[in-house]
Amino acid sequence: MSKITRREISLASGMAAAVALSAGALIAFSADASPAAEPGNVAPAFTGTTSTGEEVSLSDFAGKTVVLEWTNDGCPFVKKHYAEPPKNMQTLQSEDAAGDDVVWLQIISSKPGSQGYVSGAEANAINEGRGATPDHVILDPSGDIGRLYDAKTTPHMFVIKGDSEIAYAGAIDSIRSARVEDIETADNYVRAALGAVEAGEPVQVASSKPYGCSVKY
């Protein structure tokens, strides 16, 4: 049997490393291609501190429909949906998500010193001033919950069914603008998802590309 040269050993080692690297890249790509927080998947569990200082977990609301709303009060797109009139976000909170079977969680993932970062008292004052009625405001300055859901914009919306399955993820509506006048003619995806979940029907538009200001991680 012929002796294996050092050059052949080096080439073989290089090929093995290349194969391992390629396999690692494929694994990473597959993980990125199937994010956890997408419609049809179980919503990632989390616990956060609210604007009133209490801790709430997603599991606290098992059996109920949960809406997650990423927000930043300085963002023009958020201001659009809270504008008066038509109070688009407020109406979703107080009418479409009204009742004991729906919980609305507003989440602020702005880091300290960035646009949208507020204290609990400031968050409560902002909501009181614009007539907003989320059930809880979760302060997420570390961005841990935002990254868990891959929240990209403010607003970025999720509707989670009582069995913890994500029913909808994406934009609040179909017109990607900061113009208040576009609200009237847009298809409101969150309203439609809530109606479908309540009726026990499939959500027709289960996902869309979110639009707005980037979350200030």
Token code pair at residue 58:
């997603």
Q: What is the mean pLDDT of residues 16-27?
A: 34
* Max CA separation in the chain (angstroms): 87
**Angle (nearest 5°) at CA 110 between 115 and 104:** 115
The band of 6, judged by pLDDT with boundaries at 50, 70 and 90, is very low
Burial (Cβ within 10 Å: 0-12, 13-18, ≥19) of residue 160: buried
What's the pLDDT score for residue 104? 98
Q: What is the DSSP letter of 117?
A: -
Computed over every residue of the chain, the mean pLDDT equals 88
pTM of the model: 0.85
What's the pLDDT score for residue 12? 41
Every domain of the chain and the residues it spans: 1-34, 47-214
Residue written as token pair 């179980």: 42
Q: What is the DSSP letter of 104?
A: E
CA distance 197 to 203: 7
Q: What is the mean pLDDT of residues 172-191?
A: 98
Residue type at position 11: L
Q: Is the pLDDT of residue 72 over 60?
A: yes
The answer to whether residues 175 and 162 touch, using CB atoms and an 8 Å cutoff, is no
Q: What is the mean pLDDT of residues 98-119?
A: 97
Q: What is the mean pLDDT of residues 170-187?
A: 98
Token code pair at residue 132:
């907003």
Structure confidence by residue, pLDDT tens digits, 145-174: 999 999 999 999 999 999 999 999 999 999
Nearest Cα to Cα of residue 168 among 187, 188, 190: 190
Q: Is the pLDDT of residue 27 over 50?
A: no
The answer to whether residues 192 and 93 touch, using CB atoms and an 8 Å cutoff, is no
Q: Is the pLDDT of residue 24 over 90?
A: no
Q: Which residue has the higher pLDDT, 115 or 15?
A: 115
> How would DSSP label each residue in 192-212?
HHHHHHHHT---SS-B----S
Strand order in the sheet with 166-170: 55-57, 47-50, 136-139, 102-108, 65-70, 156-160, 166-170
What's the pLDDT score for residue 196? 98
Residue written as token pair 């994500």: 166
Topology of domain 47-214 in CATH is: Glutaredoxin (3.40.30)
What's the pLDDT score for residue 206? 98
